[in-house]
Every structure is written in C-alpha cells, then in structure tokens.
Amino acid sequence: MRSFIDRVEIEVHAGNGGDGCLSFRREKYVPRGGPDGGDGGEGGSVVLVGDPHLTTLLDYNFRRQFHAERGAHGEGGNRSGRSGETLQLRAPLGTVVKSDSDEVIGEVLTAGQHLLVARGGRGGRGNTTFKSSTNQAPRRVEPGGAGESRKLRLELKLLADVGLVGKPNAGKSTLLTALSAATPKIADYPFTTLSPVLGVVRVDDSTSFVLADLPGLIEGAHEGRGLGLEFLRHIERTRVLVFVLDATGDVAADLAMLQVELDAYALPLGQRPAVIALNKVDLLDDAAIAAARSALPESTRIMPISALSRTGLADVVRVLAGQLAATTETGLPPPTVLPGTSANI
C-alpha cells in the first residue's frame, strides 16, 4: 500500500548557461574573415507540472535533489550552443511550494499547470555579438550565467469539494464508503483513518463532487493533540463541511468542540457552509432522535442518517450538491474533477 506523504523538502538546481565562443573565421581565399563566435545556450529551468493522477508526494520522499541540463557552449562558425532541456517535476493538484524561508512561491492547482521554481542561467554572448564599426575584431565574450538553486518545501493540501469532519469513530469512513467507491479502513477503535481519503460522489449522469474523509479531530487538535493538526490544512480548500456526529453521544458538546478546533486553526473554517449529518440513528428510537436534533443549532441543516444502513444518504447527496452549486454562484472555484475515478451510491 502506498504511503500518504503530504510534506517534503527538496533541492532544485537549474542548468547554467553555456559560455560564448571566441572565434575568428579564417579561410583561404576569403578576405575579411572577422569574428564568428556563437552564443552559449540557455540553461534548463525547473518547473512543477500539475498531475491530476497523483494524490501524494511520495515520489519525492526517495529522491530529494534534481538538476536541470546546462546549456551547451557556443562554437565557431556562428553556431550557438544548444539550450538545456527544462526539467519537469510532476506534482499532485493542491501542492503549495514554499522557499526555505517559508515564503510561498506558488501553488499547483490545475492539471497541466506549469510553475517555474528555478530559472535556468542565461547563455553567454560570443564575440560576434560585440563586432562594431570601431571594433572589427572583438576578443570579448561572456560566460554563461548561473542557474538558480533553491531549497523547496512542498506541502499538499487536498483539492476536495466537501470535507467530512468529526470525532474518531463518528462514522466518517463508513459514510464515505457508502457515498463513493473509496475504501478507507473501518474498525471499532479510534483513529482508524491515519491519512485523508478521497472519494467521488455521483449526483447524476453529469454531476459529481469530491468528498474527503479527514482523520478524526479531538479536543486540542489545533495544539498538536491526536492527528488533527497534521491534517487540518487539508480542510482549507473544501467549500462545504459535513459535521458527522454520533447520535448516540453528546451531539451538542461534540459539535461545539469541532467548531472550536476549526476556528482555532489558521482560517475560520467553522464559518463555511455546513451540514450536520446526525449519524447512527438506526440505534435510536424516534424520541431519542428528536432530542438529539433539538440539542443542535437550527441555523445549520440537520440530516438524520445511518451510514451503515444507508438511510437518508440520497437526501445528503442532494443537499450537498445544492450547497456546492450555491458556492459556485458566489464566484468560488467549480467542483473538482479527478479523472480515472468512479463512484457509486
């Protein structure tokens, strides 16, 4: 099983430019030979290319240094050196690129996007370039410029439309399995989900959205307790949140804790459009379900469900699709599309 790696440090080195050539044309029976030194080639740059088929930075966990090709030197006969090839490094969508001083260089958000992270050196000019009416035989050339070298920090923030948030064993993984074709680990002990899992939920023949199951949050997650801090950043890009609550527990206290943890993180995540999925209602009678609903805020849509028996899931999909359509109309990015995935409900 491939590991989920969402933070790595790498070094990238762009190629140096080729040196300009010092050369003079000397041929028998050819007067006025003059300078004919060509320019050096440009050094190859290093770019990150968005690859929608990647979901982890695992490849960079084994190789940390990357060098682009240098430019060839200029030659006589006004022959310019060949430019070095650009080194293209594949990156999953949602990758944030930072310098070693924690400055954000850019983000890879779309398939095929090219993000320049190290520029190749400029090719040096040959002596032909410096010929003038007052300098018919220049002996001046330029060396190739040095390519950029950088230490980079790559951080992956998953691109998902809807994020499942809840305490350990609230039923998030079971819900993801019921709504999509994803197969997260499910067991009756806490923290069975040790890394984010994505699934595609099919709304109809032409509409789908990406659902993310994040590891369970516990009180103090924003301070580093449990696994929450490690994966809270993956919620940043989601446009709608689903608070998955265990209906057999203290739903009001659980919801309050989750909102505190989200708000304590870098962004006011708790203020995003949200739905409350009151899970495991198959274990309660009507009176207990009504009591649980009455303990929750009326301002948020409350949907009693059972992920295990698939009760109420069609309504959840319909409501989430409506929420996403509403956020798209406000100018936020359209739903994420991951090629090569399938879903079922």
pLDDT, tens digit, for every residue of 247-270? 999 999 999 888 887 777 655 555
Q: Is residue 343 part of a domain?
A: no
Q: Is residue 226 part of a domain?
A: yes
Kindly tell me if the per-residue pLDDT of 194 is higher than 90: no
- Structure tokens belonging to residue 302: 């409350």
Q: From residue 334, how far is each of 142, 147, 202, 322 by CA, in Å?
A: 50, 38, 15, 13
- Co-location of 68 and 86 in the same domain: yes
- Co-location of 281 and 134 in the same domain: no
pLDDT-based confidence at 59, cuts 50/70/90?
A: confident
Q: What confidence score (pLDDT) does residue 248 get?
A: 93
Beta bridge partners of 311: 306
Q: Is residue 278 part of a domain?
A: yes
Whether the CB-CB separation of 289 and 296 falls below 8 Å is answered with no
Q: Which amino acid, 168?
A: P
pLDDT-based confidence at 61, cuts 50/70/90?
A: confident
Q: Is residue 118 part of a domain?
A: yes
The number of domains in the chain is: 2
Q: Is residue 338 part of a domain?
A: no
> Averaged over 230-258, what is the pLDDT?
84
**Lowest-pLDDT range of 55-69, 99-113, 172-186, 275-289:** 172-186
Q: Is residue 20 part of a domain?
A: yes
- Co-location of 174 and 322 in the same domain: yes
- Co-location of 172 and 239 in the same domain: yes
**Lowest-pLDDT range of 74-83, 208-217, 317-326:** 208-217
R_g over Cα of the chain: 29
Q: Are strands 149-156 and 7-13 parallel, antiparallel or unpaired?
A: antiparallel
> Averaged over 95-104, what is the pLDDT?
91
- Look up the pTM and report it: 0.67
Residue 121 lies in domain: 7-156
- Co-location of 133 and 85 in the same domain: yes
- Co-location of 249 and 267 in the same domain: yes
Question: Which residues make Cβ contacts (< 8 Å) with residue 339, sequence separation at least 6?
Answer: 52, 53, 111
- Co-location of 166 and 149 in the same domain: no
Question: Which residues make Cβ contacts (< 8 Å) with residue 129, sequence separation at least 6?
Answer: 20, 39
Listed residue (196, 164, 150, 158) closest to 3, CA to CA: 196
pLDDT-based confidence at 10, cuts 50/70/90?
A: very high
- Co-location of 322 and 196 in the same domain: yes
Q: Which amino acid, 61?
A: N
Q: From residue 21, how far is each of 38, 121, 126, 133, 219 by CA, in Å?
A: 5, 16, 5, 20, 67
Q: From residue 196, how far is each of 183, 260, 288 by CA, in Å?
A: 12, 21, 32
Whether the CB-CB separation of 123 and 71 falls below 8 Å is answered with yes
- What CATH number does residue 79 fall under? 2.70.210.12
- Co-location of 217 and 320 in the same domain: yes
Q: Is residue 298 part of a domain?
A: yes
- What CATH number does residue 226 fall under? 3.40.50.300
> Averaged over 80-96, what is the pLDDT?
94
Q: What confidence score (pLDDT) does residue 344 get?
A: 33
